[in-house]
């Protein structure tokens, strides 16, 4: 398991799509007020390096012990939404609309997803001022899967999606 600071230093991928303007204290305060929750300090640390965008290939997947609609052994984290309203790109501020649109439980803050599947900060147990867990939500089949007790633990378990390949030498999926 990688240490948080190591992952944070190499977390972001290339490209500008999804990147919001640099994070300021005023933007964070406004976002927390709009979202009605306290955002985890570890999330804000990563967003202060870059405010959203593509996740580096080193850290673009989270291992799972059970199969999901995505994979037998992981869920994707291709991007992480930032905080802002830049060029009509999705951000954490779109959570209320997206939660309603996709029929997700509340209170959540959506971090990444495409409508069919989401990774979110889950405040249902801890309350709006607590330290949220991280949960995978499959909007198509209504499934949810707890991933990590908090955002820092989530980040520390991230790995490269390529490390989950289970193809055998002839290119077929292995049975294991």
**For residue 172, is pLDDT > 90?**
no
| Integer CA distances (angstroms), 88 to 6, 52, 83, 125, in order | 31, 13, 12, 32
**For residue 173, is pLDDT > 50?**
no
Classify residue 150 by its DSSP letter: S
Summarize pLDDT for 12-71 with one digit per residue, the tens: 999 989 999 999 999 999 999 999 999 999 999 999 999 999 999 999 999 999 999 889
Q: Does 91 or 89 have the greater pLDDT score?
A: 91
Position 2 scores a pLDDT of 58
- Report the C-alpha gap between 146 and 11 in whole angstroms: 22
User: Cβ contacts of residue 2 below 8 Å, gap of 6+?
Assistant: 156, 158
Q: Which of 165, 144, 75, 148 is closest to 112 using CA atoms?
A: 75
Give the confidence band of 79 by pLDDT, cuts at 50, 70, 90. very high
């Amino acid at each position: 398991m990688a240490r948080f600071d190591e992952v944070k230093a190499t977390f972001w991928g290339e490209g500008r799509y999804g990147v919001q303007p640099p994070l300021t204290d005023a933007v964070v305060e406004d976002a927390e007020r709009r979202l009605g929750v306290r955002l985890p300090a570890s999330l804000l640390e990563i967003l202060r390096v870059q405010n959203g965008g593509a996740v580096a290939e080193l850290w673009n997947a989270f291992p799972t012990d059970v199969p999901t609609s995505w994979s037998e052994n992981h869920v994707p984290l291709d991007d992480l939404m930032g905080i802002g309203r830049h060029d009509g790109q999705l951000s954490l501020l779109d959570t209320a609309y997206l939660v309603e649109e996709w029929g997700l439980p509340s209170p959540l803050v959506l971090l990444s997803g495409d409508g069919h599947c989401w990774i979110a900060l889950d405040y249902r147990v801890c309350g709006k001022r607590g330290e949220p867990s991280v949960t995978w939500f499959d909007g198509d089949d209504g499934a949810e899967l707890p991933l990590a007790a908090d955002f820092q633990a989530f980040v520390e378990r991230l790995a490269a999606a390529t490390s989950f390949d289970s193809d055998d030498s002839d290119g077929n999926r292995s049975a294991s």
